[in-house]
Amino acid sequence: MSAQAFGAADPFAVGAAVRVRLSWPPGHIRTPAYIRGHVGTVAANLGAHPNPEEIAFRRSGQPGSVLYRVRFRQDVVWPDYRGPASDTLDVEIYHHWLEAAGAAR
């Protein structure tokens, strides 16, 4: 193990509001395009994992990145969403794709 995983020293707390980076890098990316730029709340910390964006190119995956389940309100992600306001979407997102957000709507 080399460098410490992204977020290992200062992970987002469960319940924290986070924004998914609005970024479009090429390569093997596990953050779905539809969720980039959106604000959600951390539902669970799933621990540090080797970075799949690196492993895909036969690199070591180190440093790894803390993986979270981030919860989004469907009616915020899709403004014309048809369903109750209590409907949610959980997406697995790595720490290096997230930044602190003021408050989730």
Partner 1 sequence: MSDTHHDHPPDAPPTHYQRMEIALREILMAKSVFTPDDVRREVEAMEGRSAGTGARLVARAWVDPAFKARLLDDARLGAAEMGIPPGPYRVLVMENTATLHNMIVCTLCSCYPRVLLGLPPAWYKGTAYRSRAVREPRAVLAEFGFALADDVALRVHDSTADMRYMVLPMRPAGTEGWSEEELARLVTRDSLIGVAPALDPQALGRASDAAG
The pair of structure tokens assigned to 23 is 């970024």
Is 44 in contact with 69 (CB distance < 8 Å)? yes
Q: Is 88 in the site for partner 1 (CB under 8 A)?
A: yes
Nearest CB to partner 1, comparing residues 81 and 101 = 81
- Of the candidates 25, 27, 84, 102, which one interacts with partner 1 according to CB under 8 A? 84
Q: What is the largest CA-CA distance in the chain?
A: 47
The partner residues of 73 in beta bridges, in order of sequence, read 88
Q: Is 82 in the site for partner 1 (CB under 8 A)?
A: yes
CA distance 105 to 1: 38
Q: How far is the CB of 32 from partner 1 (least distance, A)?
A: 5
Nearest CB to partner 1, comparing residues 16 and 43 = 43
